[in-house]
Amino acid sequence: MRKLRGGEIDIIMLKVCGKEIDNIMMQVHSSDIDTHMLKVCGNEINILMLKVRGGPIDIIQLKECGSEIDIVLLKVLSNEIDIIMLKETGNEIGITLLKVRSSEIGIIRKSRLKKTI
């Protein structure tokens, strides 16, 4: 568990197309998150340049096996992240209602949008 503004960040479990993602080694330095190391079934994902500048996070660039995942419009409004839109090879993953309660990130409710053919 890592410290974030006097709170603690637990392990965030995400499901992407039936795979589990473990969020480990999350470091916060002067409200700038530099590098996250994630493991996806033995693969490593680097989240680079995730910057929190006292407000909204605009674009997070992810790289997974050469493919890019864009997290677009991740907004932090009054300690509550509403909707995170992920794009992975044509599939859209909606992570809804990621609540930050007393500086702790607790539960991520995951909902997968159906792939339109």
DSSP 76: B
Reported in sequence order, the residue ranges of 41-115 that DSSP labels E, i.e. its strands, are 43-51, 57-64, 67-74, 80-88, 91-101, 104-105, 109-112
* pTM of structure: 0.24
pLDDT tens-digit profile, the chain (117 residues): 333 343 433 344 444 444 444 443 333 333 333 344 444 444 544 443 333 333 333 344 444 444 444 433 333 333 333 344 444 444 444 443 333 333 333 333 333 333 333
How many helices (H) and strands (E) the chain has is answered by 0, 12
CA gyration radius for the chain? 14
Which pair of structure tokens corresponds to residue 53?
């500048």
